[in-house]
Amino acid sequence: MREVVTMALIGTFGLAAVGCATPSSPDIYSRGDAMKAWHVSSGEVVDIKAVRIDGTQSPLGTAGGGYIGYEVGHSVGHGNGSDIAGAVGAVAGAAAGRAVERAATRQDGLQITVRLDSGDTIAIVQSADVGFSTGEHVRVLRRGNGEARVTKT
């Protein structure tokens, strides 16, 4: 029974880690972005480079992996040996949980270089779920905090 519970927890934490991925798509906005102004500029795409956007490492992956590692380690032996194995398993599981979450939330991205109509040239990294072409006329949405995205016109 304990193995069934442990496997169910592994699956639950794995799905939760994937669900916590923060999108960097130009077409997806967080709830906090709603009803906030963006400064809009126009420009032309002058270069596109494929990149990888690193995954997240939240306390969820660490805690979930640590818990699962503890349970697996604790099931080995009896008495003090079981407690030590549980502690070692918790440390190893926490590290593994962080790595699994990071790999599960990694995504393909684009570094899009845009020559703005003002003459400035900027580069923005975002997810690769919307394709762009060199020479394409685009809009750049920017905030005062440095946040920016490239969108189709």
Structure confidence at residue 57 (pLDDT): 62
Residue 27's pLDDT is 76
Q: Give the CB-side neighbour count of residue 31, counting CA atoms within 13 A.
A: 0
| Beta carbons within 8 Å of 105's beta carbon, 6+ residues apart | 17, 18, 20, 21, 22, 55, 56
Q: Is residue 130 part of a domain?
A: yes
**68 shares a domain with 17:** yes
The boundaries of the domain holding residue 59 are 1-24+55-105
Cross-strand pairs, 107: 53
Q: Are residues 43 and 62 in the same domain?
A: no
Question: Are 62 and 6 within one domain?
Answer: yes
pLDDT at 125: 94
Q: What is the CATH number of the domain that holds 150?
A: 2.40.50.100
Both 122 and 136 in a single domain?
yes
Within a domain: 41: yes
Per-residue pLDDT, 7: 47
Q: Is residue 7 in some structural domain?
A: yes
- Whole-angstrom distance, CA of residue 95 vs CA of residue 151: 37
pLDDT of residue 73: 62
From residue 28, how far is each of 37, 105, 126, 150 by CA, in Å?
Answer: 15, 16, 11, 12
Looking at the structure, tell me whether residues 81 and 139 fall in a common domain.
no
From first to last of its 153 residues, the chain has per-residue pLDDT tens of 445 444 444 554 444 444 444 446 777 888 887 878 899 999 999 999 999 887 666 666 667 766 676 666 657 766 666 666 666 667 677 777 666 666 666 788 999 999 999 999 999 999 898 999 999 999 999 998 888 999 998
Strand order in the sheet with 121-127: 121-127, 107-116, 39-53, 137-142, 148-152
Query: Residue 34: its pLDDT value, please?
Result: 81
pLDDT of residue 4: 42
Domain co-membership, 73 together with 100: yes
Residue 31 lies in a domain: no
Domain count, the chain: 2
Q: Where are the alpha helices (DSSP H) in the chain?
A: 2-19, 59-74, 80-105
50 lies in the same domain as 68: no
Whether 30 is covered by a domain: the verdict is no
